[in-house]
Amino acid sequence: MPWGITIRGNRFLRGGTCRGCADTAHGAALSVRAVRLGHALAEAEAIRDIVIEDNEFQNRAGATLFVGGATDVTIVNNRITASPDASRQRKGPAVLIERSSRVTLTDTSVSDPRPDTLAAVEIGPSVAPAEDGVHVSGLRTKLAPGTQAVHDRRSVP
């Protein structure tokens, strides 16, 4: 499994449009994803120590970032933008986090006026509780009216 990877200073245009990215729930322009046999999300958080920093994502077709089966992931100072007429392959959030822990999302902007963007960040029910799972700070959003900045699907004790 990969570990100790930094993805910095890139520009992603129309990411996530190919088959397997645009038409699946976990498909994204950039995925940090541990899989098991049959391509399902791994039970373990096998991928670790990943930094996604200072990148620009424009007009993605599905999610921008998917983090699943990972721990110690830092997402910092990224810019996610979409024009109102950019095509989408499916509804969903800009950033989707599932079955992960110690994910930090800091100083990231999401500007997407499309109504099928359901949230800037969605935290799945299998993510560790509280900040052991995800810590979000400095999130700046410009979204369609009524769209949540963070949709946390974990149950509250």
**Model pLDDT, residue 23:** 60
**Model pLDDT, residue 112:** 96
Range of the domain at 45: 3-152
Please state, in angstroms and rounded to a whole number, the distance separating the CA atoms of residues 85 and 132.
37
Q: Would residue 140 count as lying in a domain?
A: yes
Please state, in angstroms and rounded to a whole number, the distance separating the CA atoms of residues 75 and 82.
19
**Model pLDDT, residue 42:** 81
pLDDT in tens, the chain (157 residues): 778 999 999 999 987 666 555 566 677 888 888 887 777 778 888 899 999 999 999 998 888 999 999 999 999 999 999 999 988 777 889 999 999 999 999 999 999 999 999 999 999 999 999 889 999 999 999 999 999 999 999 976 5
Q: Would residue 81 count as lying in a domain?
A: yes
**Model pLDDT, residue 19:** 57
Could you give the number of structural domains in the chain?
1
Please state, in angstroms and rounded to a whole number, the distance separating the CA atoms of residues 148 and 106.
17
In 45-112, the DSSP E strands lie at 47-53, 56-58, 63-68, 70-76, 79-81, 95-98, 101-106, 109-112
Q: Would residue 142 count as lying in a domain?
A: yes
Q: Would residue 157 count as lying in a domain?
A: no
Q: Would residue 92 count as lying in a domain?
A: yes
Q: Would residue 49 count as lying in a domain?
A: yes
**Model pLDDT, residue 75:** 98
